[in-house]
Amino acid sequence: MKTYILLLLMLGSSLIFPQKSDSFKWPNENKMAVSLTWDDGRSSQVVTGTPILDEYDIKATFYVVPSLMMEEIDKWKEAAKNGHEIGNHSLNHPCSGNFLWARNEALEEYSIDQMRKELKEANNKVKEMLGVEPSVFAYPCGQTFVGRGEATMSYVPVIAKQFTSGRTWLDEVPNDPAFCDLSQLTGVEMDGKSFEEIMELIEHAKANNLWLILAGHDIGDENIQTTEVAMLEKLLPYLKDPKNEIWTAPVGEITTFIQELRQ
């Protein structure tokens, strides 16, 4: 009986305090990985953001809606040419109709077939516009369903078939590279956060050998959905410094690394 109770206690502690993934090894003896990502294809990302990233030679992932890139299409072409990853963020940015602005593209009214077709069309448009075909995806609003009630279905399997990875939004934890579902990678918000707040996330990820995917929208000082320039100007040199033992790369590059190890 005592042995049985001890085993239960050990199991309980492992569930409450999960162990870090020591068996997974990042390249060059790094202790964690970071990917910087932004959604939608907003103009500020290439007007304000990519010049700062290029200054430090750090490549990011931009999940775009094709129609939103048109205002700064030349800068988007330059960003792709400079090695920034372009991902798919859907054709029409469908979200739950509880977002009133999304009522005309409500996920509750979508079907799996419609989603599949629109994702393919979005990829084709990005390829026509930028000459690159997205291999990574970010779920609009972080939502992974279509339909309603008993007819609700996950479109994660569609993403798993069409893309190497899918990223959600407003998550609370980084990804464990030895465990995570690459089609449902977590994305932790960096909009509105200070460098000190981002460092708390980094320190947790580094202590546990994790992959932190930071997610944002605008870049500058414009509104609540904005990654602050002042934060980036502190974060980027920190990420670039080898002594901090962080591998910083686009989502697709890290996804490929994990896939190869798993195979």
Q: Report the C-alpha gap between 90 and 75 in whole angstroms.
A: 20
Distances (CA, A) of 39 to 92, 167, 215: 13, 10, 7
User: How does DSSP classify residue 19?
Assistant: P
Q: Tens digit of pLDDT for each residue in 207-263?
A: 999 999 999 999 998 778 999 999 999 999 999 999 999 999 999 999 999 999 998
If phi over 0 gives left and psi between -120 and 50 gives alpha, with beta otherwise, what is residue 138? beta
The answer to whether 158 and 119 have CB atoms below 8 angstroms apart is yes
Q: Which run of H or E residues covers position 251? A: helix 251-262
Query: Which residues face 215 on adjacent strands?
Result: 37, 189
Predicted TM-score (pTM) of the model is 0.92
Q: Report the C-alpha gap between 151 and 109 in whole angstroms.
A: 10
**HSE (CB half, 13 Å, CA atoms) of 131?**
11
Q: Report the C-alpha gap between 119 and 115 in whole angstroms.
A: 6
H helices present in 32-72, as ranges: 43-44, 50-55
pLDDT of 9 over the 60 cut? no
CA 82, 199, 18: angle at the middle one, nearest 5?
Answer: 110
Place of tokens 């977590």: 186
Q: Which amino acid is at 47?
A: V
pLDDT of 19 over the 70 cut? no
Give the tokens for residue 134: 């997205």
Q: Tens digit of pLDDT for each residue in 51-102?
A: 999 999 999 999 999 999 999 999 999 999 999 999 999 999 999 999 999 9
Q: How high is the pLDDT of residue 224?
A: 85
Give the tokens for residue 154: 């996950």
Place of tokens 């492992």: 14
Q: Tens digit of pLDDT for each residue in 185-209?
A: 999 999 999 999 999 999 999 999 9
Length of the chain: 263
Gyration radius of the chain's alpha carbons: 19
Domains of the chain: 25-262 (3.20.20.370)
**Of the candidates 217, 239, 236, which has an alpha carbon nearest to the alpha carbon of residue 51?**
236
**Of the candidates 216, 237, 233, 234, which has an alpha carbon nearest to the alpha carbon of residue 225?**
216
Could you give phi then psi for residue 155, rounded to 5 degrees?
-105, 15
